[in-house]
Amino acid sequence: MGIKEYLQSITYPLPCMTHFRDHSTCEPLRKILSVILIPVGLIKFIISSLFANIQSNKITVAHGVAVVAIMKNEEPYVEEWVRYYSGLGCAVIIYNNDSEGNLTEIGIKSGAIVHEMHGSKRQNDAYNDALRRYRNTYKYMMFFDADEFIASKRFLEGENLEYLIDKYFLKFHKAAGIGINWLIFGSGGHKMKPEGNVTENYKQCSEENYEWNQIIKSIVDPRRIIGFVGPHLPCALFGFGIYDLDGKRILNPRIDFPENKELRLHHYFTKSKKEFEKRISRGMADRNAKRNMEEFYQRDRNEVYNDLADRIYKMIILNETESAKGR
C-alpha cells in the first residue's frame, strides 16, 4: 500500500467523512477535509490496532456471517441474490443507491436489511458505514456485488459457510481478511435477458487461468479492519493482513492463482448482451465512469460448463420448501 492509500485508509472510513459525502459532492473540499483529519484518523488507527491485537486470542461474542452490497437498479436480480445468501446462513445488508424502482421493497420482502445511500461513487462509503454499524454484531462480513455468488462444493456436502470461513481464520491467525478469487461467467450466447434466475441461465464460464479471475473480493473479520478505500481489498489494522486461500499475504486486488480453490466467487459479469447494455447506462458504484461494450466482448467467456451455483441455489430452495412443510 502506498502512502496515499494508507492516509486515505485512516481518514475516509471516519463517520464525518461519510456524513460529508451524504451532503456534498465537492471532491476538492473532501480531499482538504481528509488531510485535516489525518491526526484523528491516525489516533483511531493506533487505538483500534492495539485493541484488536489484545483481543486477538480471545473468543469474540459476535457471531454469524453478513454479506454487504451496494445496489442500483438491480430489481430483477435482488430476490435471487438475497435468497441465495440467506440460504447459506448469512444476514444480508443492502445499500440502495438511488434505484429508480422498488429495490428497497423487494430487498426487505426477501429478508434483507436495507439502508439508503444517495449520490455517486458511494461504494466505499457504504462498506465503511456497514463496518461501523455491524462491526461487533457479526463474526465475519463479506463485501460483494449483486452479480457475485460465493460457491463451494462443500455447501452441497452439508458444510456451512461460517464453518468454512472459520477454518481459514483459525489457520491464518493474524488474518484480517481472506481474498476469494473471481470466476468470470459469460453470456452463454444470450442476446436478450432470459426468463428465470441468473444462476440457472448462465452456466458457461471462463477457464481457470483467465486473467480476470486473478481479481479478489474480501471476507473480513470486521474488528481487524480499519476500512475500505477500494471495493476489492480492505485496509487491515496494524499486525494483521489479508491472505489468499493458500495463506499468502495479499497486497493488491489482483493476485497469483492460489492452488486452493475451495471457495470461489462466481461473477456473472456480462449476463446477456442486452443486460450489459443496461449496465453501461447505470454507471459504476466506486467511481464516476461508465463501462463500454469492449468490456463485454473481452469478458464474455464461455469455455467451461459450470452449474455449481445453480445446484446450490436449488438445494437452498428445496430446503426452504421442506422447512415450510415442517412448520
Q: Is residue 31 part of a domain?
A: no
Residue 133 predicted with pLDDT over 80: yes
Residue 285 predicted with pLDDT over 60: no
pLDDT of the residue at 62:
87
pLDDT of the residue at 288:
59
Q: Residue 80 sits in a domain of what CATH number?
A: 3.90.550
Spatial contact of 289 and 282, defined as CB atoms under 8 Å apart: no
Q: Is residue 288 part of a domain?
A: yes
Q: Is residue 19 part of a domain?
A: no
Spatial contact of 115 and 97, defined as CB atoms under 8 Å apart: no
Residue 284 predicted with pLDDT over 80: no
Residue 36 predicted with pLDDT over 90: yes
Q: Is residue 141 part of a domain?
A: yes
Q: Is residue 191 part of a domain?
A: yes
Q: Is residue 104 part of a domain?
A: yes
- Tell me which DSSP letter residue 215 carries: B
Residues 138 and 131: their CA atoms lie apart, in Å, by: 10
Residue 291 predicted with pLDDT over 80: no
Q: Is residue 47 part of a domain?
A: no
Spatial contact of 267 and 290, defined as CB atoms under 8 Å apart: no
Q: Is residue 46 part of a domain?
A: no
Mean pLDDT across the chain, nearest whole number?
A: 93
What are the Cα distances from residue 292, in Å, to 100, 281, 282, 295, 296? 22, 9, 11, 6, 7
pLDDT above 90: percentage of residues in the chain? 82
Residue type, 312: I
Q: How many domains does the chain have?
A: 1
Q: 254 lies in which domain range? A: 64-325
